[in-house]
Amino acid sequence: MDKIKFNIKREERNIEISFCNIEEIQKIIYARGYEGVCIITDETVYELYKGTMDDICEKISGSLIILEPGEKSKCMNTLGEIYSELNLRGIKRDDLIIAFGGGVIGDLTGFAASTYLRGIDLIQVPTTVLSQVDSSVGGKTAINLGNNKNRVGAFYQPQNVIIDIDVLNTLQKREFNNGCAEIIKYGCILDEILFDKIYDIGNLHDTRVIYKCKLEQIIRRCIELKIDVVQKDEKDIGIRNILNFGHTIGHVIEGIDDYEKFKHGEAVAIGMYLITKWSESKGYTVIGTAEKIKNILLKNNLPINIQGIDSEYAYRAIIKDKKASASGVKLILLKEIGECFIKHVPLEEISKMTEEIFV
Ligand SMILES: NC(=O)c1ccc[n+]([C@@H]2O[C@H](COP(=O)([O-])OP(=O)(O)OC[C@H]3O[C@@H](n4cnc5c(N)ncnc54)[C@H](O)[C@@H]3O)[C@@H](O)[C@H]2O)c1
Ligand SMILES: [Zn+2]
């Protein structure tokens, strides 16, 4: 089993990322000596991987909580149900919770684990591209309050994250591509070689079987890049902000039609292209960078533009974002592919920016 170990300043232990087959979770649970285990998953993921989950439950006195798939489950009601179930099933302080699913399951289960009995051990088994390269690493957990995304949450690090790229083969193409937007983001902000590698492959989804090794290297590289940033700034008060490249505009787009129209990664894809086109026009970014981003996104069937967004609506949404302050917004811009910087932009300029972007 191939592992990356890292630590966070306030944690007195290593957090392990294991690249292995999901069947190997059992070995990890045995090695850590847990007596009780509760797996939290969603209906779709359970149907696909019930063999693995049932086997754990049988051999290690485990139980299952199976939730409805989708963002709507990331809410107070479901969280309350999880607490009740954990309590009813007698889950103790030294037992283990496993988050087995995409980012929704990871964020919700992570938050439940961080608060139930004031914190109980957690293993993340991310099963989407997005959750493998992004949400399962870094310790952010959260639930939504209505349409306010991630309003309640905690920083809570898992003991272990288990990455098995074979589980990505059952993902629907749109979900796969959605996660690729975050992969492309890492190339844009931190690693030109990674960007070029993805560019040369073309469509990551269609080549995932023949280029399995390359896909695994790409996912591993994204995780390494994220760990490096998180170790410098776990609580997201400085450098971790760069992971928000494309997200200021992305969040505006994601919010339309009550989050029904675009998935997170799709909205971020549009955000990365539009903000880079704008920053090129201001002279902050090397000319030609936006074109490269446009091409790599299109190769991965991701959207690059949207019609009909009102600039005033976009401005209001940006200043309401939890990252904005009264003096302005920290925009993440590229100097060129592989190199980014944080620019504090006053609100007047943000207002002009939205007029220029959403004409
Ligand atoms: N904590 C963080 O740092 C962080 C970072 C980015 C995003 N997020 C959060 O992640 C969430 C989105 O995560 P997501 O994109 O993984 O969505 P998701 O968890 O809703 O999963 C998408 C869909 O894919 C299905 N699925 C999952 N794994 C599958 C598999 N292997 N095969 C087939 N189907 C599968 C799920 O049932 C679901 O229907 C959002 O709530 C977002 O806020 C958190
Ligand atoms: Zn994101």
Specify the pLDDT at position 324. 81
* C-alpha 267 to ligand 2 mean position (Å): 9
* C-alpha 326 to ligand 1 mean position (Å): 32
* C-alpha 137 to ligand 2 mean position (Å): 12
Closest listed ligand to the CA of 154: 1
pTM for the complete prediction? 0.96
Specify the pLDDT at position 258. 80
Mutate to test the pocket of ligand 1, among 67, 135, 164, 260 (most ligand atoms within 8 A of CB): 135
Residues with CB under 6 A from ligand 1: 42, 44-45, 48, 69-71, 74, 101-105, 107, 127-128, 130-131, 134-135, 138, 140, 149-150, 167, 170-171, 175, 178, 264
Closest listed ligand to the CA of 52: 1
By alpha-carbon position, which residue is closest to atom 12 of ligand 1? 103
Closest listed ligand to the CA of 182: 2
Specify the pLDDT at position 327. 87
Closest listed ligand to the CA of 40: 1
Mean pLDDT for back-to-back runs of 10 residues, the chain (359 residues): 87 91 92 93 98 93 95 97 97 97 98 98 98 97 92 96 97 98 98 98 96 96 96 93 96 88 96 98 98 98 95 93 85 98 95 94
Specify the pLDDT at position 226. 97
Say which residue the tokens 């109980």 belong to.
Answer: 120
Specify the pLDDT at position 323. 76
By alpha-carbon position, which residue is closest to atom 42 of ligand 1? 103
Specify the pLDDT at position 148. 86
* C-alpha 91 to ligand 2 mean position (Å): 32
